[in-house]
Amino acid sequence: MAKQLGFYVNLADCSGCKACEIACKDRKELPLGVRWRRVYEYGGGEWVADGDQMVPSGVFHYFVSTACMHCEKPICMEVCPASAISKRDDGIVLIDPDKCIGCRYCSWACPYGAPQFNEEAKVMTKCDFCVELQAQGQNPACVDACPYRALEFGDIEELKAKHGELNDPAPMPDPSLTHPAIVYTPHKDTRTSQSGGGQVLNID
Amino acid sequence: MTKKDFLTKTLTDTVISRRSFLKWSAALGGTAALAGGLDFGLKTVEKAAAASDSQIFTTSCYHNCGSRCILWAEVKDGTVVRMLPDQDPEDTFDRMKAIPCLRGRSQKWRVYSPERLKYPMKRVGKRGEGKFERISWEEALDTVATKLQEVKEKYGNEAIYYNYATGQIAGGVDNTYNGVGPIARVMHLFGGYVSFYGTYSTACYSAALPFITAGGSNSSDDLLNSKLIVLWSDNPVVTRTGGKGIGYHCLKAKEAGAKFIVIDPVYNDTAIATEADWVPINPGTDCALIAALAYVMVKDGTYDKEFMATYSVGFDEDTLPEGTPRNSSYMAYLMGRGYDKTPKTPEWAAPITGIPAERIVKLAREIAGTKPCAMFQGWGMQRRAYGEQPVRALPILAAMTGNFGISGGGNGTRPTGGTNISIGGFPAGENPIKTKISVYMWPDFIERGHEMTSGPRDLIKGAEKMTADMKFMWNWAGNCITNQHSDINGTVKMLQDESKLEFIVVSDVVMTHSAKMADILLPDTTHFEAENITGGNSEGRSNFVLFNHQLIEPLYEAKDVLWVAEQLADRLGLGVEFREGHETRESWLRDIVAVARENNEDFPTYEEFKEIGYYKKVGGGGIIAGKAFVEDPIANPLKTPTGKIEIYSPTMAAMNNPEEIPAIPLYIPEWEGVSDPLREKYPLLMGGHHSVQRSHSTFDNVAALREAHIQSLWMNTLDAEARGIKNGDMVKVFNDRGEVRVPAYVTNRLRPGVTSLPQGAWFTPDENGVDIRGCINTLTKYHPTPFAKGNPQHTNLVQVEKA
Amino acid sequence: MDTREWALLIFTILGQIAAGSLLVLLIVRAFAVRMAGVDQADRFTNGPLYIIFPIMGLALLSSLLHLGNPLNIAKAVPNLGTSWLSREVVIAVVFVILVGVYALMQWRKIGNNVLRTVIGWITGLLGLVQVYGMGMVYMIRTQPAWNTLATPVSFLVTALLLGVATIAAALIVNNALLNKGDKKDEQQLEMLRKALQGLAIASIALLGVEFLVTPLYMAYLPSQGVEAMQSLEMMVGTFGVIFALRLIFVFVGAGILATYIYRNASILGKEGTLSTLVFSALILILTGEVMGRFIFYATHVRIGL
Ligand SMILES: Nc1nc2c(c(=O)[nH]1)N[C@H]1C(S)=C(S)[C@@H](COP(=O)(O)OP(=O)(O)OC[C@H]3O[C@@H](n4cnc5c(=O)[nH]c(N)nc54)[C@H](O)[C@@H]3O)O[C@H]1N2
Ligand SMILES: Nc1nc2c(c(=O)[nH]1)N[C@H]1C(S)=C(S)[C@@H](COP(=O)(O)OP(=O)(O)OC[C@H]3O[C@@H](n4cnc5c(=O)[nH]c(N)nc54)[C@H](O)[C@@H]3O)O[C@H]1N2
Ligand code: SF4
Ligand code: SF4
Ligand code: SF4
Ligand code: SF4
Ligand code: SF4
Ligand SMILES: [Mo]
């Protein structure tokens, strides 16, 4: 099997600070509205009366930091009419801005919201796994930015061996759609794409 | 779970109105692209090749976030192109990387911000109107010098005040906190000024601490030895965001097996990241919970009687100081023999705290039954109406459970820095004037300074009475004139009477709301624009010192504080004394390194230090507060007046105000608190937690941060439902002091009846005076606490409606 | 709303009008040839034929507006292997060329009737394929509200319904142009009446199909997961009014007015009334279908983030 690079996110330790998002934005000089790395808040439960007091019942909340999953079955690439999306030997999925005609079809298809249209440049953009840094032997900007060391990257098989198999914490979609190259450590409250039971709570 | 994509969004936009960040910021007139040259993340590969001619340097992060991190900057063609994290090759518990947070990573945008002040200005309209006219540095400095001399002649140096300001506090030359740095040096030479005691951070904590433990707790690396960690009004993954802070130490403790309990009205980010059990408590009621927990431990017989008898004053009747009236002890209070004749049963505490009695019992048994247990307090519960009380109450639990003075435990206060590096600082000299007011009470200094005394109303220090009203205010790198102080609308009104406070000098780097109050406005350089040396992060087992390189030329006409101080000194005839032979910035910096080399064997030479950019010291930590005291309380007394854990304070008893300054830490119902009848009109309690996208008001001008974390009113699902408010809806938040409009963040993450409006957003009134950016101090009350005379900014009542 | 988003809507609607019209016209012509011979049939149908090319041309032009960066098309390699959008673009381009060629042949009488008829039908079938392709573009596995048979079927119904209405209107205009002045061509008039009757019946039948597909589709959505359920909720909730109006418009246009058209077409000398009815029906159906397409785009909910 060919090499497949992927991300690892430790949901248990993530504080939702978004240093990863900001580092990505700085590294990639992204304009407002384009957020290659985003952090979702997922939570649920309710407040109920316990005698005279109100108490939380099943209240939970956790964060999921997300970028492009560099999927093994990238639906973005499947649907792109301009052959602007390609998958490298190391599994990294890239959009070629010189080929992209800006039809936005990939963003209709990708279940991770990874491709994001750049209004100024008029082309689709997404996380490129910091290929330029990797080429210099450095880590992706987001990985090095996490103050709580909750992000890692590497060969997905090695990451799985180290961290387990979880690849669909809610609110992530059913992984069978695209086979994302990702693995997570669950938070104590982590639900899966199947069990759900909460909501995305970001207000943007 | 699902998110509509762009097409759906644009289509639905036409039918149902939807708010988005871009629209909000458009409404604020700030859609401007992020500064600093955009190429939209394209062609990174080519760019990487082209970037090889860039260089990286250490810089710093020098404002008030409670942390210090190692920040690098990539510079190309005289421009900072990007921020980089700590480049140290090692990242271990002993030599922890100081990974900067999202704010540090945004420094480029903060510096290259469209809001930068570009040249000196003088006020032309009414004060506070925000109308300014460009002037030369010459004129600005002449005006300030003339005014200083005039005030000195007419009213004396005691009419000059140096306001609390924490925008530039990392040490070295560019350090402008009260009493340190170049401006302080000139002003000391000039005859001094009235300064302040306490801080907006810890007014109650620092006032009360000397009367309970007289010192902080174990260093944070010791958390690794705890089995149970109870965080009380503490949110360190936010308030110590950097990757070497207490927040990360907590995660390391979790990894080592510690369980966490978080006692907070809010299910804060730390509770989430430590996977804690959350005990949602009503704000302002911690003393009631602590009393009930102590009650259960007494009833269960699970507390350390012998320890309390030996090490405390006033826990029970036997340990009360001689001559104290009977039933004044904490035990008497607990058992219903004290002043209120009410036993502090869990059933008593339940309706106050909002925590069911069984939960309180369970919590007491968990805490008493798990050893070692570290109990820490954040400063949230002390920035409140009676903030002195919980500071003094929590150490009682630490002592009762035998965690005081042991590894893995703690004294119930806050972690102490583990590793100090002694380096030099800028020699500001001594302030000849000893009079100090409480940091928070400067408005009284303006309105009735000459009446203020050391008596209980004002508690000024260093003198019996004040001699003048404030006529001249320095405000260098702070936003506490309005934005960060209470009751902005009231404060602005007061300041508009120019006959009272005659002259305000503000230095800042951006046009803040406090800056709009200035009579003379000075554009400062940022840390990118001048060379400096800054201190590090003393948390845990290592620390560092940073060489802060000058990365770029000063922007516009900005001038650094050293230059301004020199110019001022020259005008005041103090130039020679000021310089003391130092002709360059570097000469001051070399002094700092010289001291550092004296105190640290391996500290590099100035040249080496500048080249490497940082100095790291490892091998610290392991501080167990009160260990020596516990081993031998006679030989090693605490620094409290009684030398013991002072549960009963004779000093406070002597103040003769048992209702508000009780001798033992009591639950005192707050004004604008859970039980205030005013809740009929303003039913919701509102705090303003410190949030991750800003350090106070600093960074609120960075659009990328505002986009990542949208300023919003946190409110409970039930309160929102009752008002027809949905997540993301625009709401108005108001009370008699003002009105704010922000989107609502509807969540189960806080108690019903409780709201939080993260402090620090830039006050931005519209034409009707309604703040449209979510500044909490539009709504807070100016009401000093009884003993510390501190800021009760988390105690507020409001009403919320859908806008 | 962004022009770009309307562009897609216009592209699909116009593209479907073109395909549907051509097909309807070919059938009408076949009948006309039987009734009145090739020459009269061509006189009857050539006028309407000439509008199809510009309609399809416009469709393609508007599809360009949807692209962020149309200039890159020069550098882009069509991804025929996996991308339906790619295939669709290629089909549409070939279709417009063939439509042009066919119209030119008809106009200049290039080739004999058999050849022209064959080319015509090939083009017509390609039009059908194009409509199918358009449907396939939206059959994305992460888009449950789209990823159903209902998408291509409803596209086809739209194409035919609008084709019928468009051709009816075009025949009336063509006839009016032919019969300018006093001398009336009775045979052409006769054909027109017959054609309108046929088209009215077709319209009512297609309406039946549409009114069968829509409830089936709505009944099917809840079984397709939360996202599809959300789509349904939006359809009847947020966009409920538009949804209802759309059904009413199409019902009135393709049903009630069609009935009147059928009746009036059997009476001599009702050209004036007929043309009012036909144009009203066209406008109603077109408006209804545009609203339907708007809802199609506005209510899809993608799986995931
Ligand atoms: N309601 C409420 N209010 C609060 C609090 C709360 O919890 N609730 N918290 C309080 C606390 S704990 C504190 S510490 C205070 C903090 O209040 P402040 O000390 O006022 O802190 P900042 O708001 O960060 O303001 C720092 C200012 O320094 C400026 N600055 C940054 N860099 C430079 C520079 O290089 N030169 C110059 N001249 N200026 C610079 C920034 O632009 C900013 O305007 O707020 C208090 N206010
Ligand atoms: N990101 C970031 N970090 C910062 C700062 C910043 O502005 N931004 N500011 C720095 C400064 S100067 C300071 S002083 C510190 C401030 O640090 P803190 O004062 O500890 O921070 P707060 O957010 O005010 O309060 C901490 C927690 O106390 C809770 N709380 C409020 N009232 C009560 C109460 O009555 N009882 C209980 N149990 N909990 C309560 C709040 O919900 C909050 O979760 O943070 C520092 N760190
Ligand atoms: S996450 Fe989306 S954009 Fe990234 S490879 Fe997978 S399908 Fe493509
Ligand atoms: S927007 Fe660009 S990358 Fe995405 S599908 Fe269209 S051509 Fe391909
Ligand atoms: S790998 Fe690079 S491009 Fe991708 S999210 Fe991380 S920082 Fe952004
Ligand atoms: S930087 Fe780390 S802790 Fe912060 S949001 Fe990203 S993954 Fe979570
Ligand atoms: S934690 Fe403080 S010092 Fe560290 S990067 Fe963030 S703002 Fe700067
Ligand atoms: Mo503070």
pLDDT tens-digit map of B769-802: 999 999 999 999 999 999 999 999 999 999 999 9
Evaluate whether residue A104 is within a structural domain: no
Q: With left for phi above 0 and alpha for psi between -120 and 50, is residue B82 left, alpha or beta?
A: beta
Distance separating alpha carbons of residues B511 and B503, to the nearest angstrom: 18
Say what the pLDDT of residue C74 is: 85
User: Which atom, in ligand 5's list, is nearest to the CA of A153?
Assistant: 1
A25: contact with B, CB 8 A cutoff: yes
Q: Residue C134: pLDDT above 70?
A: yes
Say what the pLDDT of residue B7 is: 35
A203 vs B248, B270, B727: nearest CB: B727
Per-residue pLDDT tens over the stretch B164-199: 999 999 999 999 999 999 999 999 999 999 999 999
Segment A94-110 shows an average pLDDT of 96
Q: Whose CA is nearest to atom 6 of ligand 3?
A: A71
* Residue B389 tokens, joined: 């009380």
- Our answer on whether the CB atom of B253 is closer than 6 Å to any ligand 2 atom is no
Per-residue pLDDT tens over the stretch B98-156: 999 999 999 999 999 999 999 999 999 999 899 999 999 999 999 999 999 999 999 99
Q: With left for phi above 0 and alpha for psi between -120 and 50, is residue C8 left, alpha or beta?
A: alpha
Domain of residue A36, CATH code: 3.30.70.20
A112 vs C76, C137, C304: nearest CB: C304
pLDDT band at C269 (very low <50, low <70, confident <90, very high): confident
Segment C175-186 shows an average pLDDT of 84
Asked whether the beta carbons of B678 and B647 are under 8 A apart, the reply is no
Give one DSSP letter per residue of B45-66, joined into a string: HHHHHHGGG-EEEE----SSSS
Distance separating alpha carbons of residues C66 and C60, to the nearest angstrom: 10
A123: contact with C, CB 8 A cutoff: yes
Say what the pLDDT of residue B510 is: 98
Per-residue pLDDT tens over the stretch B633-663: 999 999 999 999 999 999 999 999 999 999 9
* Ligand 7 centre distance from Cα of residue B661 (Å): 36
Element (H, E) at B71: none
Asked whether the beta carbons of C59 and C80 are under 8 A apart, the reply is no
Say what the pLDDT of residue B460 is: 98
Give one DSSP letter per residue of B453-486, joined into a string: BSSTTT--BSSSB--S---EEEEES--TTTTTSS
Asked whether the beta carbons of B510 and B124 are under 8 A apart, the reply is no
> In chain A, where does DSSP find H-type helix?
19-28, 75-79, 105-109, 131-135, 141-145, 156-163
Range of the domain at A35: 5-71+127-197
Reference B514, options B557, B555, B485; nearest CA is B485
- Our answer on whether the CB atom of A6 is closer than 6 Å to any ligand 5 atom is no
Segment B222-251 shows an average pLDDT of 98
What residues of chain B have any CB closer than 8 angstroms to a CB in chain C? Answer: 1-5, 7-8, 10-16
* Residue B696 tokens, joined: 């106070």
User: Which atom, in ligand 6's list, is nearest to the CA of A23?
Assistant: 1
Of the listed ligands, the closest to the CA of A98 is 4
How many residue contacts between A and C have a Cβ separation below 8 Å?
A: 107
Mutate to test the pocket of ligand 2, among B65, B103, B239 (most ligand atoms within 8 A of CB): B239
* Reported ipTM: 0.94
Q: Whose CA is nearest to atom 8 of ligand 5?
A: A24
% of residues, chain B, pLDDT over 90 = 93
Q: Whose CA is nearest to atom 15 of ligand 2?
A: B239
Residue B625 CA to chain centroid, in angstroms?
A: 23
Amino acid at B755: T
Evaluate whether residue A169 is within a structural domain: yes
Strand order in the sheet with B55-58: B55-58, B72-76, B79-84
Evaluate whether residue A105 is within a structural domain: no
Q: Give the C-alpha distances (Å, rounded to integers) separating B129 from A51, B119, B143, B476, B513.
A: 53, 18, 20, 20, 10
- Our answer on whether the CB atom of B387 is closer than 6 Å to any ligand 2 atom is no
% of residues, chain B, pLDDT over 70 = 94
Reference B3, options A69, A196, A204, C219; nearest CA is A204
Say what the pLDDT of residue B53 is: 83
Mutate to test the pocket of ligand 1, among B481, B513, B532, B697 (most ligand atoms within 8 A of CB): B697
Per-residue pLDDT tens over the stretch A2-49: 799 999 999 999 999 999 999 999 999 999 999 999 999 999 999 999
pLDDT band at C181 (very low <50, low <70, confident <90, very high): confident
Say what the pLDDT of residue C6 is: 84
Distance separating alpha carbons of residues C138 and C15, to the nearest angstrom: 15
Amino acid at B549: H
In three-state secondary structure terms, B121 is strand
User: Taking the model in full, what pTM does it have?
Assistant: 0.94
Distance separating alpha carbons of residues B53 and B213, to the nearest angstrom: 55
* Residue A118 tokens, joined: 């750049």
- Our answer on whether the CB atom of A82 is closer than 6 Å to any ligand 4 atom is yes
In three-state secondary structure terms, B593 is helix
Torsion over CA of C69, C74, C76 and C81, rounded to 10 degrees?
120
> Considering its fold, how many domains does chain A have in total?
1
Say what the pLDDT of residue B41 is: 45
In three-state secondary structure terms, B611 is helix
Q: Residue B339: pLDDT above 90?
A: yes
* Residue C80 tokens, joined: 């025929």
Say what the pLDDT of residue A1 is: 54
Evaluate whether residue A112 is within a structural domain: no
Say what the pLDDT of residue C283 is: 97
Evaluate whether residue A80 is within a structural domain: no
Of the listed ligands, the closest to the CA of B698 is 1
Asked whether the beta carbons of C163 and C23 are under 8 A apart, the reply is yes
Say what the pLDDT of residue B516 is: 97
Per-residue pLDDT tens over the stretch B752-769: 999 999 999 999 999 999
In three-state secondary structure terms, B538 is coil
Distance separating alpha carbons of residues B414 and B219, to the nearest angstrom: 9
pLDDT band at B21 (very low <50, low <70, confident <90, very high): very low
In three-state secondary structure terms, A168 is coil
Of the listed ligands, the closest to the CA of C85 is 4
Q: With left for phi above 0 and alpha for psi between -120 and 50, is residue B741 left, alpha or beta?
A: beta
Evaluate whether residue A27 is within a structural domain: yes
Per-residue pLDDT tens over the stretch B464-490: 999 999 999 999 999 999 999 999 999
* Residue B5 tokens, joined: 């994509």
Torsion over CA of B241, B243, B244 and B250, rounded to 10 degrees?
70
Distance separating alpha carbons of residues C150 and C129, to the nearest angstrom: 16
* Ligand 6 centre distance from Cα of residue A184 (Å): 13
Q: Residue B24: pLDDT above 80?
A: no
Segment C54-78 shows an average pLDDT of 92
A101 vs C76, C82, C302: nearest CB: C76
Q: Residue B611: pLDDT above 60?
A: yes
Distance from CA of C255 to the nearest CA of A (A): 35
Please give the residue that has the higher pLDDT: either A21 or C77. A21
Evaluate whether residue A144 is within a structural domain: yes
Distance from CA of B84 to the nearest CA of A (A): 8
Q: Residue B38: pLDDT above 70?
A: no
Segment C149-175 shows an average pLDDT of 96
Eight-class DSSP state of B158: G
* Least confident residue range of B7-11, B71-75, B130-134, B499-503: B7-11
A58: contact with B, CB 8 A cutoff: no
Q: Give the C-alpha distances (Å, rounded to integers) separating B784 from B76, B440, B500, B791, C131.
A: 50, 7, 21, 6, 74
Q: Residue C80: pLDDT above 70?
A: yes
Q: Residue B22: pLDDT above 60?
A: no
% of residues, chain C, pLDDT over 90 = 89
Distance separating alpha carbons of residues B499 and C248, to the nearest angstrom: 73
Asked whether the beta carbons of C274 and C265 are under 8 A apart, the reply is yes
How many residue contacts between B and C have a Cβ separation below 8 Å?
A: 41
Per-residue pLDDT tens over the stretch C106-128: 999 999 999 999 999 999 999 99
pLDDT mean across residues, chain C = 94
A18: contact with B, CB 8 A cutoff: yes
Mutate to test the pocket of ligand 2, among B379, B382, B440, B670 (most ligand atoms within 8 A of CB): B379
Please give the residue that has the higher pLDDT: either C36 or B31. C36
Segment B698-703 shows an average pLDDT of 97
Q: Give the dihedral sign, CA B385/B387/B389/B390.
A: positive
- Our answer on whether the CB atom of B756 is closer than 6 Å to any ligand 1 atom is no
Phi/psi of residue C214, nearest 5 degrees: -60, -55
Evaluate whether residue A92 is within a structural domain: no
Kindly determine whether residue C1 and residue B16, on different chains, have CB atoms separated by under 8 Å. Answer: no
Bridge-partner residues for A41, per DSSP? A63
Asked whether the beta carbons of B756 and B407 are under 8 A apart, the reply is no
Asked whether the beta carbons of C254 and C161 are under 8 A apart, the reply is yes
Segment B696-718 shows an average pLDDT of 98
Q: Whose CA is nearest to atom 2 of ligand 5?
A: A130
Distance separating alpha carbons of residues B83 and B108, to the nearest angstrom: 7
Kindly determine whether residue B749 and residue A43, on different chains, have CB atoms separated by under 8 Å. Answer: yes
Q: Residue B362: pLDDT above 70?
A: yes
Per-residue pLDDT tens over the stretch B502-521: 999 999 999 999 999 999 99
Q: Residue B609: pLDDT above 60?
A: yes
Give the count of beta carbons closer than 10 Å to the beta carbon of residue C114.
8
Q: With left for phi above 0 and alpha for psi between -120 and 50, is residue A108 left, alpha or beta?
A: alpha
Which residues in chain C have their CB less than 8 angstroms from residue A100's CB? 68-69, 72, 76
